[in-house]
Structure 1
Amino acid sequence: MKHLTAASVLALCVGSAALAQDFTLNINTALATSDPLYAGLEALRDNVAEASGGQLAIVLYPNSQLGPDEDVLEQARAGAPVAVVVDGGRLAVYQEEMGILGAPFLASGYEGIRNVVTSDVFQGWVDEMADTSGLQVLSFNWWQGERHLLTNKAITGPEDLAGIRMRTPGAPVWMGTIEAMGATPTPMPWADVYSALSSNVIDGAEAQFPAIVGANLQEVIDHVTKTGHINLITGLVTSAQWFDTLPEDLQAILLEESLKAGDIASYGTQDSLDAIEQQLVDAGVTVDEIDTAIFRDATAKVYDDLGYGDLRDQVQAIAAGN
């Protein structure tokens, strides 16, 4: 399905809302339906319908059918009943502190980063972003796994990434991290990565295990180097204007079920990682374990470069449960 224009999305949303349900929320995600996180979205859709007695319907659009994340965020800011699964780096343009969630080696695994995105400190950022930018976070506990380097040669340190054009999202924290690791950051939509790799427009990418197989990148890369440089926590973000039109009981249902569904998605992702790694190996991809200390040292400056030096200590303490 081709990307829709903003006008057609708004028309679609208005049309959806005119169905039998009182309210409809259209959720866009870059993920494929095979991704473990998508099971969480399906659970959200079903549980919200049941809890609301059919008053609130959710329609899912995988594979970025409504367009790139940044476009859907702008549609949400304009008041459209759309939501998107998005990382903190892309939200930093609206709420600067959100960018630290995508900073390098902030936390490992799900539990620590979950502490951060369910904390009072994080809720303060959520409230401020809703007031100043018109974006409402429904929950931010959608863990997609740790991101690794995808290349066609073995990587042991920054020197091996010299001259490598590596796809990354366009957010400053992502680009700064990849540059500090030694590669040349090359922003482009995720949907374009397969063709860009196969045609040598880029030399590599970085992604979590479920996304690699979801996009069939095992067909166009030879090596996965397990750096875990970014612990990818994402959130479900919608229009604050639209959210405020919901009755309070439906607001409560949507927030509560979004948090529950995020856990379903995240633990499902956690449980899938070993099997996906084996799938990559079976497809002929070399999966390398390396000492990541050299990359940790190389990327430490990213926090200070982006003004997160002081915030880093606070967030890492929260992640550690302190």
Structure 2
Amino acid sequence: MTRRMACFVLMVSLAGMSLWGSGAPEETKTYKLMVGMVVTESDPMYKGAVEFKKNVEARTEGRVKVEVYPNSQLGDTRDMMEQVKAGANVAVITDPARLAESVPEIGILGAPYIVDDFQEARKLVTSSLFSTWAEELAGHGYRILSFNWYQGARHFLTNKPVKVPQDLKGLRIRTPGATVFQESIKAMGASPVALAWSEVYPAIQQKVIDGAEAQFPAVVGARLHEVIKYITKTGHFQLITGLVCSESWFKGLPEAYRRILLEEALKAGDYASQLTMEGLKENESFLKSQGVEILEVDITPFKQACEAVYDKIEGYRALREEVMKVLGKR
């Protein structure tokens, strides 16, 4: 979606807020939330959002209506976050690195090799440390409904074999534009290129970039197996994401509805995460069947290369110590 179209969506959604909410007694008001994401209908995040829709509408007897928009229909993630911050009735599934533009500390959740799996990530995002960051984000206009939406480990997707960091030298690799993503890809030897997810397929096809890094469900959903030959299983990021809406929109809901949204977002995040974990082997088998070679490598040199990120980004080494304490590793 173009930025102009995203602005149009924002204006329509803001107008819709007055149509859906004002002037009626609280018990008869109807509210609408549009949930957007860049992934396709085959992705566990979409299925989790549909589960969220079903349960929220059931518990509110249809007074909170949820519409789900996959495949960048509401714009790319940055577009949707701008809509959220502006107060639109929009929610987005987003990563911590983008939220770090408002609260830098939360970006540590997207740092390389910070957690080993979903269980560790979930423990972290339900901790008092995370709650502190979430409250700070509310002051910037973002309400975290839940942050337990696990999308899987991210790996390198290329057309030449990558077995050690040196093999990444000179390769233009798509990654999100947030600082922690950019610095991590640089640290491992590649040249990071920020592109919208919807642009990755044609960019690889047209050799604008040499590859990307992403999680298996997203690779399958975007059909990137048609334009890549290799996936190197580095698992450099464990992608934990969250469902985030406008703080002002959220505060405009009756308290009972706020509680329902928070409870159902947590349940839906766990549901989506379980689907992710159950589907990873199936995703990998499918990619192999399509001719993609999956490279199992020693991740030690990649982890060592990423140590530079914790010095490059101010405060990250100290933040990692706090995270390790939460996880019981210190």
Are 1:79 and 1:239, in contact at CA under 8 Å, matched by a contact in 2?
A: yes
1:277 aligns with 2:284: yes
Matching residue within 203, 210, 213 for 2:217: 210
Shift of 1:13: 5.0
SS at match of 1:243: helix
Instruction: Report the counterpart of residue 14 of structure 1 in structure 2.
Output: 15
| Counterpart AA for 2:6 | T
Structure 1 residue 149 corresponds to structure 2 residue 156:
yes
Q: Distance in 2 between matches of 1:79 and 1:153?
A: 45
- Which is worse superposed, 268-277 or 4-13? 4-13
Partner of 1:112: 120
Matched with 1:319 is 327
* 1:320 Cα deviation after fit: 4.5
Question: CA offset at residue 261 of structure 1?
Answer: 0.3
1:93-242 correspondence runs (5 A): 93-131=101-139, 133-242=140-249
1:292-311 superposed matches below 5 A? 292-307=299-314, 308-311=316-319
Whether contact under 8 Å (2:13, 2:88) holds in the other structure is no
Percent identity between the two aligned chains = 45
SS in 1 for 2:115: coil
Secondary structure of the 1:230 match is strand
TM-score (structure 1 length as normaliser): 0.96
CA separation in 2, counterparts of 1:11 and 1:120? 37
Aligned pair 1:268/2:275, yes or no? yes
Give the whole-Å Cα distance in 1 for the aligned partners of 2:108 and 2:193: 20
Whether 1:286 aligns to 2:287 is no
Contact 2:125 2:147 in 1 (8 A): yes
User: How has the CA–CA distance of structure 1 residues 62 and 320 changed in structure 2, closer, same or farther, with 3 Å as cutoff?
Assistant: farther
Instruction: Find the aligned partners of 2:6 and 2:141 in 1 and give their Cα distance.
Output: 20
Deviations 1:51-102 (A, max 9, x none): 1111111111101111111121111111111111000011110111111111
Gaps of 5+ in 2: 21-27
Aligned residue pair count: 321
Report the 3-state secondary structure (helix = DSSP H, G, I; strand = E; otherwise coil) of the residue aligned with 1:193.
helix
Q: Which deviates the most, 64-73 or 216-225? A: 64-73
How far has the Cα of 1:313 moved from its partner? Answer: 1.4
- C-alpha change, 1:21 and 1:31, in structure 2 (3 Å) is farther
Give the aligned residue type for 1:213. V
| Residues 9, 74 of structure 2: 8 Å contact kept | no
SS of equivalent residue, structure 1 residue 156:
coil
Q: Name the SS of the counterpart of 1:58 in structure 2.
A: strand
Counterpart-to-counterpart distance in 2, 1:279 and 1:25: 34
Mapped to 1, the partners of 2:138 and 2:109 lie a distance apart of 18
* Cα separation, partners in 2 of 1:106 and 1:304, compared to 1, 3 Å: same
Kept in 1: contact 2:110–2:239 (CA 8 A)? yes
Distance 1:137 1:319 in 2: 21
Deviations 1:138-195 (A, max 9, x none): 1000000000000011111111001000000000000000000110000010000000
Q: Is the 8 A contact 1:52 1:250 kept in 2?
A: yes
Q: Which amino acid aligns with 1:94?
A: S
User: Shift in Å at residue 50 of structure 1?
Assistant: 0.5
The residue that corresponds to 2:23 in the other structure is: none
Q: Which amino acid aligns with 2:87?
A: G
In structure 2, distance between residues paired with 1:130 and 1:230: 25
SS at match of 2:218: helix
Distance 1:208 1:22 in 2: 37
User: How far does residue 16 in structure 1 lie from its aligned partner after superposition?
Assistant: 7.1
Match of 1:39 in 2: 47
Tell me, in whole angstroms, the C-alpha distance in 1 between the residues paired with 2:15 and 2:83.
Answer: 13
Alignment-mate amino acid for residue 5 of structure 1: A
RMSD of aligned alpha carbons: 1.5
Contact 1:33 1:62 in 2 (8 A): yes
Structure 1 unaligned blocks of 5 or more: none
